[in-house]
Structure 1
Amino acid sequence: PVDSNNGTQIKQVNDQSSNENILDKEPKLKDLHRLFDSSAAHYSTIGTALDVEVDNLLHSPLSASDKLRTVFKRWIESNKEVTWRNALQVCEDYPDKRGVTVELLLGRKWLPVVRVKVLKVLQFLPFSSSLDPGYWQELGKRKLEEYQLREDPVPIRGSNGNYRNISTPFLSLDYTAFDVGYQPTGLDFPSLGLLRNMNTIASFNNIDKKELLDTCGRLILESIKNGNCLKNSSLLMSFLLFTYADLKKYRFNYWFGFPALSPSSPFTYRSISRLDTLFKDSDLQHLVSCYDHFQSEHKSVGFFLVNCS
C-alpha cells in the first residue's frame, strides 16, 4: 500500500530481512544525488551529518546541486560506513532542517522510508520593468538643461505593485520619476532608485554593474540593521537604472538592476493557506477595516505585519 501525507510517500514491504540487506549496501553517487537533489540547498547540513568537509564549499562558485554531489562523493571516498542506513539516518537526525520525500527503488526492493515534514524552498519572483515614453521625454529635457555631461548617480523614484491580472510584479517609471517625493496612488507603492545616464554607448556597455548592485544591496542590508526600513519601507525595494540616450537619433538604451539579499540558507515554509480558510468572515472584515485604517495613516506603505492574538 501507498500512504501519502503532506507530500511524503510511504511504501511498505513484507520481507524485513531483504530490507535489512539493502540498508547495509553502499549507495551509488547517482542514486544519492537523485534522492537528495531537491534539498541541494542544505548541502552543508547533509555534509555535517555525514562527517565530511564542507567549509571550503561555502564560497565556491559551484551550484548547490554540484556542491551536494561533491559532499556525497567525499563521503563515498571516505569509506566511513557508507550505507543506505546512514544516508537515511540524515532524515531522522535533521527533520526540521531538510524537507525531502525519501523514496527510493533499489533494484526491485523499496527501502523503508522515514516520514518527514516536507519543507519547501520559498522562491521570489523577479521584477519586470516598464518605462513610459514620458520618462524618456523628461530625461532628455533634464540631460540638456541640467545633467549635460554628468554621469554621477541621480535619485529617482518608481512605482511597484501586484495585480491579479499580471503574473509577475513590475516596476514602472513615468515622467514623475524625477520627483522623489511624489506619492503614487491606488495600490502602487514607491521604490527609490539611482539613475546613471551615460554619455556614450561604450561607457554604458562597460559599466561595472555587479559592483554597483553589491553597493546597493549593502545599503538595503544596512537599512534593515539600523531600522530605517521600518520608517521608510520603500528602502527595501531599491533599484538601479543605467541609461544611454541618443537624443539625435531618438534611441534609448537602458538596464534595470534589482538587488536582492542572499541568505546563507534559503527561506523555507511548510504550506501556504488562503486567509478565508484560516479566518471567519467577521475576522476577515475586521482585517480589511484595520488595513484601510493603516493605509490612511501610512500612505503608500507596501509592507505590514498582522499579529493575531
Structure 2
Amino acid sequence: MPLVQFAPFSSLIHPSFWHELTNLKIDVLRLSDEALPISGSYSVGRSVTDRESGSEIALACNLTVGSESFDKEIKASPGTILASGTFKNYNTIEEFKAADKAALFNHEVNKIWDRIVITRDTRFLNHFLLITFADLKKYKYYYWFAFPAFVAKPAWEILDDGWKDATEEFSAEQLFKIHEQLRSRSSPLPFFLIQHDASIGPVEDFASFFGSTPTERPTIGFVDPSAHPTNPGWPLRNLLAYLRALHPGSSSTLRVLCWRDTEIPISSWKSRVGVIKVESGKQQETDERPSAVGWEKNPQGKLGPRMADLAPMMDPTKLANQAVDLNLKLMRWRILPALDLDKISSTKCLLLGAGTLGCYVARTLMGWGVRTITFVDSARVSFSNPVRQPLFEFEDCLAGGKPKAECAAARLKKIYPGINASGHSLSVPMPGHPVPATSVAQTKKDVERLEALIAAHDAIFLLMDSRESRWLPTVIGAAKGKIVLNAALGFDTFLVMRHGARCTGLPPNSSRLGCYYCNDIVAPSDSLTDRTLDQMCTVTRPGLASIAAATAVELLVSLLQHPDGMHAAAPQANQDPGLPTDGSGDSVLGLVPHQLRGFLAQFRNIHIVGAAYDCCTGCSETVLQAYEKEGFEMMLKAFNDSKYLPTLTGLDKLYDEGEAVLESVDWDEDGDADF
C-alpha cells in the first residue's frame, strides 16, 4: 500500500510584515534578541485552471504572516486558521548564521509535545518558528521558517482506492451540514471529529465523541491548506501524532476528511477523503516523543534561509522617510533611551537669514529630524556664496542670482523630499533705518508677514549680518513666547545664545535670562552705512560658520529635551568644562547653557550667563508692552527715530548720568603724575 505523502507548508510573507519588523526593531527590540510570540494564518488549499489544458494546478500550501502577526490580540478572519509561532531576530548576520538551529527547533518541538501530553490542546499543533536578521540600511531581510511536524514510525499508509472526492463518502446534505457547523463557530476549528450523521466536535473529545459503540474507522477532519489531489496538508501530521500519542488503541485506522470548501453556493465539492492506516504492533507510549522535521527549504530546494530584498520594490521617497531617522533612533538603543524624537521632529523652525549660517543651520536641523524649515531672506545668490553656503550651486548665481530663501528651500527638498521647506523673500525693517512715506504701506505688510511667520513657528533663529536686523524678530518673538536663538560671527569668534523666556506675572527680571540686547546700553541703530567692502561682508574663518550653526541647533535640541523647555534655567557659568556642575541645567543631552562664546584661535568655548536688563531695547517689559499696545505705530517710531528706543527704555537717562559723572571728575590735564 502507498505511503501517505504530506504537502509541506510554504511561507508567504506580506511586505507589510517587513515594514512592521523594521519599526519593531528600531523602536522596541533595539538590541534585544529575545524570542517573541507571533501569529500566522492559513486557509483551505486553492488551485487554478490551466488555460491550455484545462487541468487544475494546485497552489502552494501557504502559511501567511503580515503586519498584524505581531499583534497579541489578533483574531482570525472568516475562513482562516490562526497558527501560533515563536519569532527571534538576531542583531548581526554572523549571529543569524551561527545560531544553533537544532537547539532552537528542538525547543519548539518539545513545547508542542508538552502541550499534547499535558494539556491535550490541539491549538498548538500548527506551531511554527521564524528566525530573522534585518539589514535595515539595505532593506534586506534574511529569514528561515520551521514548521515542526512529528515523524510517524511506522509510516501511515493509504488504503482502498487512495484519496477520493468527498462526495464518494458523504452525501451533499452531510457536506452542507459540516460546512454550516464550521462556519457558525465563534472561533475557527482547525481539527474536528465527524459523527455518522455529520455532526462535528473537537478532537479533544475523541475518547467519548463516538459513543459507547466502538467504530472501526473513526472519522477525523481538518482544514486542509493543500489543494493537491493526493497529498494532504502539513497540519495532518501533528494531528495524527496527537491521536497516536493519546489514543493508540483506537487510532490505528482512520477515515480522514481533508476539508477544502469555503464558498457558498458550492458548484462542486473540492474536499478529499481517504482511509489511512498505521501498523500498531507496538503502541507508542505517551512520554516517548517522536522525532520531528520541518525546516523550510530555500528556492534552490536546499535547507537554508531565504532573503527578501525590499529596496527595489519601495518608493524612493518612502525609503528616505525611513532612512533619515534611522541614525536618530539608533541613539536610543544604547546611549539615550529617554530621547524624545517626536518633540524634535514636530518643532517648526524659522530661519531669518539664508546665508552661510542659515544653510548650515538648516542642514543640521534636517540631521536631527526636523520636518518644517522656513527661510526668510531678501538677498539673491551671488558668485561668492556657493563655496561657503552649502545649499547653493554655481547655476543659482546666473542671471542676477536666484532669491536665496526660495532657492535654499528648494534645495532642501532635493536633498530630502519629505521636508516641509519654504522660502520667503522679505526685507526685515530695522531701527535707525528711516522708512520713506511712500514705503510705509509696504513696510507694514512686511512686518505683518514677519509676525505671521513667527506666530506659525516654534523656534526662531536669528542668523542675519547686522545687529539692528535682529531687533524686530527679538521683540516679536519675546511677545509671542517663542524660542529665539541667536548666532553671530566674528573673524575667529562666535556667539550662540538663547533668549530668556518672558516671565509674566513675576517681579521684573525674576529668574529671567537676557536677550541679545540685554548687555548693551546702546540702542540698535544704522551700522550698515559707509562700511568698507570687508565690513559689508562677514569675514570669518571658513570653518567658523558651520561650528556656530551646529552649536545653535544642538542648543535648541538640548532645550527641547529639558523638562522645563524654554524656561530651563542656565547652568552656572564655568570657564573650565572639565569641572563638574550641579546638574540643574541639564537635559538628557547634557547642559543647556544661556550663551556660548567660541574662540577658534584657542579652540575654546566658554559659558556665560547674562541676566535680563529692565532697560533692554529688545525684551524689556517696557518695549513689549509698547509693542502689544501700539503695534506697527510703535515699530515705525523705532525705525524712523534713533532716539525713540533710548527714551522709551530709559537708556537716555543712563547716558546723561554717565556724562554727569565724567564731567564731575577732576582730570589731571598736565599728564605729569607719577605712576
> 269, 287, 292: which one pairs with 2:158?
269
Matched residues, number: 185
2:137 matched residue in structure 1: 248
Q: Bigger CA drift: 220-229 or 142-151?
A: 220-229
Give the TM-score of the pair, scaled to structure 1. 0.56
> 239, 252, 261: which one pairs with 2:128?
239
Q: Secondary structure at the match of 2:45?
A: coil
> 30, 34, 45: which one pairs with 1:152?
34
Give the TM-score of the pair, scaled to structure 2. 0.27
Change (3 A) 1:169 1:198: same
Amino acid at match of 1:290: Q
Change (3 A) 1:292 1:251: closer
Q: Secondary structure at the match of 1:276?
A: helix
**C-alpha displacement of 1:124:** 1.2
Change (3 A) 1:227 1:122: farther
> 261, 268, 289: which one pairs with 2:180?
289
**C-alpha displacement of 1:228:** 4.0
Amino acid at match of 2:140: R
Amino acid at match of 1:287: I
String of CA shifts for 1:251-285, please: whole Å, max 9, x gaps: 11111111111122112220323221123333333
Change (3 A) 1:284 1:189: closer
Question: Equivalents in 2 of 1:186, 1:292: separation in Å?
Answer: 8
Amino acid at match of 1:278: E
Amino acid at match of 2:196: C
Instruction: Check whether the contact 2:105–2:148 (CA below 8 A) recurs between aligned residues.
Output: yes
Question: Equivalents in 2 of 1:152, 1:221: separation in Å?
Answer: 22
Amino acid at match of 1:266: A
Amino acid at match of 2:76: P
**C-alpha displacement of 1:163:** 2.5
1:14 matched residue in structure 2: none
Larger Rg: 2
**C-alpha displacement of 1:172:** 1.0
Question: Equivalents in 1 of 2:180, 2:22: separation in Å?
Answer: 44
> 252, 258, 269: which one pairs with 2:147?
258
Change (3 A) 1:204 1:122: same
Q: Secondary structure at the match of 1:259?
A: strand
Aligned residues: CA RMSD:
1.7
**C-alpha displacement of 1:144:** 1.2
Question: Equivalents in 1 of 2:25, 2:173: separation in Å?
Answer: 55
**C-alpha displacement of 1:168:** 2.6
- Superposition misfits of 4+ residues, deviation over 3 angstroms: none
Q: Secondary structure at the match of 1:305?
A: strand
1:94 matched residue in structure 2: none
Change (3 A) 1:131 1:280: closer
2:408 matched residue in structure 1: none
> Is 1:170 aligned to residue 59 of structure 2?
no
Question: Equivalents in 2 of 1:208, 1:122: separation in Å?
Answer: 31
**C-alpha displacement of 1:127:** 0.8
- Aligned counterparts, 1:12-31, within 5 A: none
**C-alpha displacement of 1:203:** 0.5
Q: Secondary structure at the match of 1:249?
A: coil
- Aligned counterparts, 1:1-309, within 5 A: 119-165=1-47, 166-230=58-122, 233=123, 235-270=124-159, 271-293=162-184, 296-297=185-186, 299-308=187-196
String of CA shifts for 1:16-51, please: whole Å, max 9, x gaps: xxxxxxxxxxxxxxxxxxxxxxxxxxxxxxxxxxxx
Amino acid at match of 1:288: H
**C-alpha displacement of 1:145:** 1.3
Amino acid at match of 1:273: K
Question: Equivalents in 1 of 2:86, 2:143: separation in Å?
Answer: 13
Change (3 A) 1:289 1:305: same
Question: Equivalents in 1 of 2:196, 2:93: separation in Å?
Answer: 54
Of the two structures, which has the highest relative contact order with CA contacts closer than 8 Å and spacing of 6 or more?
1
**C-alpha displacement of 1:239:** 0.8
Amino acid at match of 2:175: L
Instruction: Check whether the contact 1:156–1:192 (CA below 8 A) recurs between aligned residues.
Output: yes
Instruction: Check whether the contact 2:182–2:188 (CA below 8 A) recurs between aligned residues.
Output: no
Q: Bigger CA drift: 278-287 or 130-139?
A: 278-287
String of CA shifts for 1:126-152, please: whole Å, max 9, x gaps: 111111111111111111111111112
Question: Equivalents in 1 of 2:175, 2:145: separation in Å?
Answer: 38
Question: Equivalents in 2 of 1:152, 1:244: separation in Å?
Answer: 13
Q: Secondary structure at the match of 2:87?
A: strand
Change (3 A) 1:280 1:252: closer
Amino acid at match of 1:159: S
Question: Equivalents in 2 of 1:307, 1:280: separation in Å?
Answer: 13
